[in-house]
Amino acid sequence: ARCQCKLGSRVRKNCGYPGITAAECSKAGCCFDSSVPGVPWCFVPQEKKVRKFCPNNFHARKNCGFPGITAKECEQQGCCFRPYPPGFPWCFYHHIVEE
């Protein structure tokens, strides 16, 4: 994403080799900006910032467990556990939103 490439020149970590083109850099999954001399032009993008939460909408729940799973077992799998309402998964995946 474009916002992942907005890095100050001092914090850029090299992701290419001398003479790499913008296309080659992009193909490698890196960012390219040749506007600042003396720093890497092809560099590693920032990590995506994500926020995860347990959805409140019962219909948005995606099953992460099995019948009879305990809260501890569910949470050890990195999932949400809410033992209600009947007919919906009680152990379910987080909803992830990129920020």
Query: Is residue 89 located within the same domain as residue 65?
Result: yes
In this structure, the number of other CB atoms found within 10 A of the CB of residue 83 comes to 10
* pLDDT attached to residue 99: 65
Condensed to tens digits (0 to 9), the pLDDT of residues 38-87 reads 999 999 998 877 889 999 999 999 999 999 999 999 999 999 999 999 99
Name which of 51, 49, 45 is nearest 33 in CA terms. 45
Per-residue pLDDT band for 2 (boundaries 50, 70, 90) equals low
The total domain count for the chain is 2
Q: Please give the sequence-ordered ranges of beta strands (E in DSSP) within 10-84, or none if there are none.
A: 31-32, 42-43, 50-53, 80-81
Name which of 44, 46, 1, 41 is nearest 20 in CA terms. 41
Could you list the residue range(s) of the whole structural domain that residue 30 is in? 3-43
CA angle centred on 3, ends 98 and 10, rounded to 5°: 125
Query: Is residue 39 located within the same domain as residue 66?
Result: no
The secondary structure element, H or E, covering residue 74 is helix 71-76
Condensed to tens digits (0 to 9), the pLDDT of residues 19-50 reads 999 999 999 999 999 998 999 999 999 887 78
